Structure 1
């Protein structure tokens, strides 16, 4: 009986049409948030850039699901599923970021802002690989790269 009542209630909710103004407003907000994402993405924000991008993306996704997918008009189980989904997304973002930010600094990748280790110096000497040079065509292992002073 609850399923029949819920579908009957949803049918009533679907008959209530809203003007196009609401959709244009939400579309405008989504455009503004997209511009904010692009502008802040070009800035160097090492401390909170990732958090800002995740918050903006979450707000944009929530607006799309609430208004363009008409979840704001639904009641009951649909809202519970949406709320639980948002909680799980937040947990799946917070837990790994908290782990990464609080782990032993030496365990973080070398060269990252969370590590004291310097990145390895790749591309020096004779082992630079196929794009880095290595020995020049006229050079052998026994000849130095730069001529010694006094020798021509």
Structure 2
């Protein structure tokens, strides 16, 4: 019986129309967060750039779910499922970043910002003086055009 009452209350809430002002404010907040993502993506933030991007994406997703999908107006099981999903997203991001931060430095891929090893160019042949297949093709292309 509680489920029937809950859906009846939700139906009444859906019939109450909200003004467009709330949606405009959320839309502007999403645009600002997108601009922050773009500007911080162009910066070199090796220590917390990934964490910042994931937090901004999570906040944007939460805003969309709460206001454009009307989860802020729902009660009961819908809020519980949304809350548990947010907890799992935080745990997933947290455990992944903790694993990356506590990893043995030599276990990271060569050339990454977390590794002490230099990147290996598979197409390089030091005996011929080649630096790599792609760069060699570009050099040949420039020679023919000159």
How many angstroms does 1:96 deviate by? 1.7
- 1:120 CA drift (Å): 2.1
What TM-score does the superposition give when structure 2 sets the normalisation length? 0.83
After superposition, the Cα gap between the structure-2 partners of 1:132 and 1:42, relative to the gap in structure 1 and judged at 3 Å, is closer
**How many residue pairs get matched?**
134
Is 1:86 matched up with 2:86?
A: yes
Q: Deviations over 1:80-135 (max 9, x none)?
A: 000001111111111122111101111111122222222225424237664454xx
In the other structure, the counterpart of 2:28 is: 28
Asked if 1:44 corresponds to 2:44, the answer is yes
Pairs within 5 Å for 1:1-152: 1-122=1-122, 123-125=124-126, 126=128, 130-133=133-136
CA distance in 2, matches of 1:124, 1:98: 38
Q: Secondary structure at the match of 1:23?
A: helix
Residue-by-residue CA offset, 1:8-42 (whole Å, 9 max, x unaligned): 11112212211011111111111111111111111
Structure 2: gaps spanning 5 or more residues? 137-146
Question: 1 CA distance for matches of 2:47 and 2:97?
Answer: 12
- Rounded to whole Å, the distance in 1 between the matches of 2:134 and 2:25 is 52
Q: Distance in 1 between matches of 2:12 and 2:91?
A: 35
Structure number with greater Rg is 1
Following TM superposition, where does structure 1 have runs of at least 4 consecutive aligned residues deviating by more than 4 angstroms? 127-130
Q: Structure 1: 5+ residue runs without aligned partners?
A: 134-152
**Partner-residue secondary structure (3-state), 1:13:** helix
Structure with greater helix percent: 2
RMSD: 1.9
